């Protein structure tokens, strides 16, 4: 298949910095990015950053003799498979809705014969202003597709709709449109109508009222997966052990401490189409949780008797009407990673095991991960990448598996 190409118009809003991350994601996926940076956009990101990430020249001027000689503005507007506006400011939306063509970005939007996707970003009052609402309705009627905006805290300190969709979400919308999906399908996401349970973080198993057994899991990978699934339109329940992380946007979080509570919360969240067990669940717990603090007696230290915890992954994978269609487990190992993962796949009855080598420095608690996907069809090794990238790729895979 020929390389897909997008024309990326970067408007003048604080969210313009996210266009850089989007460019990185697109290039990594092999999509060509030809950037147009508006004058206001250049107040927020530099042409150099955009050009370096896009690996292409940045176009900014309508009246540029050099650019017109190299690639005229009409040719530029047709040079891609898709035109994407990130961020779509109130000003750019107004210009496009009214057919204004006073600069390169708006002229391109008027001259293009390609589909257009906009990711709006603006202050909540600007977003809710009747003028923006009218422009939005006009653009939708003209066939422009939209991704976002989200509800949330904004750079201006206000809260509400107007925050630009995350780059991973815009990326998915772009890939969907390049694959020929319609605007409404894009707006909803490929996992719209699906339910997922994601477990994350460690568990804490009490020894007595003040002490507990736990592990070094930060919850970052599980939280990133919950967020990536929600970004694809999935209804996600995140069952989380104790972590320092805040709940991802658009995800329902249930906070638990012990493995038994985690299992109960997962069972309460059924039925689900998808279960992703990322949590580092303690294999064992102290047999007796003392009602009072264990005191030093001067004798030998007390022996800690352990009993086995319930196996959440095996329970959710067990055949039956409540089994999610796709059950994915994580295996954190320090040695013989893939062999253990294959054995775990068979033992637990799940569909995929995502194996990660936690002996590598910085994986537990860090931001990067190196994983292998083990399934009945074999082993696929992914290069070391950010946990957010692992999450985006996995979410996409899960969406494809459930399609």
Ligand X SMILES: Cc1cc2nc3c(=O)[nH]c(=O)nc-3n(C[C@H](O)[C@H](O)[C@H](O)COP(=O)(O)O)c2cc1C
Work out whether 11 is an interface residue with ligand X (CB under 6 A). yes
Work out whether 148 is an interface residue with ligand X (CB under 6 A). no
Q: How far apart are CA 322 and CA 308, in angstroms?
A: 24
Q: Smaller CB distance to ligand X: residue 9 or 204?
A: 9
Closest distance to ligand X from the beta carbon of 91 (Å): 4
Per CB under 6 A, which of residues 255..294 are in contact with ligand X?
A: none
Stretch that binds ligand X, among 119-127, 199-207, 271-279, 388-396 (CB under 6 A): 119-127
Pick from 20, 33, 84, 121 the residue near ligand X by CB under 6 A. 121
Work out whether 89 is an interface residue with ligand X (CB under 6 A). yes
Stretch that binds ligand X, among 5-13, 251-259, 303-311, 320-328 (CB under 6 A): 5-13
Closest distance to ligand X from the beta carbon of 335 (Å): 49
Stretch that binds ligand X, among 8-16, 196-204, 274-282, 304-312 (CB under 6 A): 8-16
Instruction: Tell me the torsion sign for CA atoms 357, 362, 365, 371.
Output: negative
Q: How far apart are CA 302 and CA 86, in angstroms?
A: 61
Closest distance to ligand X from the beta carbon of 157 (Å): 12
What burial class does residue 205 get, using C-beta atoms within 10 Å of its C-beta: 0-12 exposed, 13-18 middle, 19+ buried?
A: buried
Pick from 4, 6, 7, 13 the residue near ligand X by CB under 6 A. 13
> What is the DSSP secondary structure assignment for residue 233, as one 8-state letter?
T
Nearest to 105 by CA among 84, 121, 135, 119: 84
Q: Smaller CB distance to ligand X: residue 11 or 202?
A: 11
What is the phi/psi pair of residue 117, to 5°? Answer: -120, 130
Work out whether 12 is an interface residue with ligand X (CB under 6 A). yes
Work out whether 122 is an interface residue with ligand X (CB under 6 A). yes
Classify 146 in phi/psi space as left (phi over 0), alpha (psi -120 to 50) or beta. beta
Q: How far apart are CA 348 and CA 308, in angstroms?
A: 15
Active-site residue, from 156, 234, 277, 350: 156
Q: Smaller CB distance to ligand X: residue 76 or 358?
A: 76
Nearest to 302 by CA among 203, 202, 211, 205: 211
Q: Smaller CB distance to ligand X: residue 67 or 257?
A: 67
Work out whether 92 is an interface residue with ligand X (CB under 6 A). yes
Closest distance to ligand X from the beta carbon of 107 (Å): 12
234 a catalytic residue: no
Pick from 34, 76, 83, 91 the residue near ligand X by CB under 6 A. 91
Closest distance to ligand X from the beta carbon of 40 (Å): 3
Closest distance to ligand X from the beta carbon of 121 (Å): 5
Cα Rg of the chain, angstroms: 25
Rounded-to-10 torsion of CA 104, 109, 112, 118:
130
Q: How far apart are CA 70 and CA 55, in angstroms?
A: 17
Residue 120 corresponds to which tokens in the numbers above? Answer: 């709006």
Per CB under 6 A, which of residues 19..48 are in contact with ligand X?
A: 38, 40-41
Q: Smaller CB distance to ligand X: residue 89 or 258?
A: 89
Closest distance to ligand X from the beta carbon of 45 (Å): 12
Find the angle CA(279)-CA(285)-CA(290) to the nearest 5 degrees: 130
Pick from 53, 90, 170, 178 the residue near ligand X by CB under 6 A. 90
Q: Smaller CB distance to ligand X: residue 121 or 282?
A: 121
Q: Smaller CB distance to ligand X: residue 131 or 210?
A: 131
Nearest to 60 by CA among 94, 82, 34, 84: 34
Span between the terminal Cα atoms of the chain, in Å? 22
Pairing between β-strand 371-375 and β-strand 378-381 as defined by DSSP bridges: antiparallel
Nearest to 132 by CA among 142, 122, 141, 147: 122
Residue numbers annotated as active site? 156
Which residues sit at the interface with ligand X, rule CB under 6 A?
11-15, 38, 40-41, 89-92, 121-122, 126
């Amino acid at each position: 298949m020929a390389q897909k190409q997008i024309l990326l118009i970067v408007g003048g809003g604080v969210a313009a910095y996210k266009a850089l991350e989007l460019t990185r994601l697109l290039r990594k996926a092999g999509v060509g990015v030809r950037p147009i940076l508006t004058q206001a956009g250049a107040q927020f990101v530099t042409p150099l950053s955009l050009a370096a990430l896009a690996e292409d020249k940045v176009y900014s001027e309508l009246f540029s003799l050099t650019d017109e000689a190299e690639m005229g503005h009409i040719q530029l507007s047709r040079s891609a498979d898709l035109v994407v506006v990130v961020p779509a400011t109130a000003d750019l939306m107004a210009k496009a809705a009214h057919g204004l063509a006073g600069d390169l970005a708006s002229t391109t939007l008027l001259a293009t014969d390609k589909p257009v996707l906009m990711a709006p970003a603006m202050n909540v009052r600007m977003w809710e202003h009747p003028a923006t609402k009218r422009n939005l309705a006009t653009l939708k009627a003209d066939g422009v597709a939209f991704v976002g905006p989200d509800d949330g805290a904004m750079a201006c300190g206000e809260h509400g709709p107007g925050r630009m969709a995350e780059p991973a979400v815009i990326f998915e919308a772009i890939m969907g449109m390049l694959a020929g999906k319609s605007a409404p399908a894009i707006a909803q996401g490929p996992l719209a109508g699906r339910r997922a349970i994601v477990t994350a973080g460690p568990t804490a198993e009490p020894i007595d009222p003040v002490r507990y057994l736990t592990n070094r899991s930060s919850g970052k990978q599980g939280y990133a997966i919950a967020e990536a699934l929600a970004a694809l339109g999935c209804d996600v329940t995140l069952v989380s052990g104790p972590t320092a992380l805040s709940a991802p946007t658009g995800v329902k979080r249930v906070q638990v401490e012990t493995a038994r509570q985690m299992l109960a919360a997962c069972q309460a969240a059924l039925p689900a189409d998808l279960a992703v067990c990322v949590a580092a669940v303690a294999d064992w717990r102290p047999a007796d949780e003392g009602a009072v603090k264990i005191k030093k007696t001067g004798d030998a230290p007390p022996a800690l008797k352990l009993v086995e915890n319930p196996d959440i992954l095996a329970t959710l994978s067990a055949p039956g009407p409540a089994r999610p269609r796709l059950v994915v487990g994580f295996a954190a190992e320090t040695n013989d990673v893939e062999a253990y993962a294959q054995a775990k796949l068979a033992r637990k009855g799940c569909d995929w095991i995502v194996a990660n080598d936690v002996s590598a420095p910085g994986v537990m608690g860090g931001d990067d991960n190196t994983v292998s996907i083990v399934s009945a069809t074999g082993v696929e090794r992914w290069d070391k990448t950010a946990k957010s990238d692992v999450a985006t790729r996995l979410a996409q895979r899960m969406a494809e598996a459930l399609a």
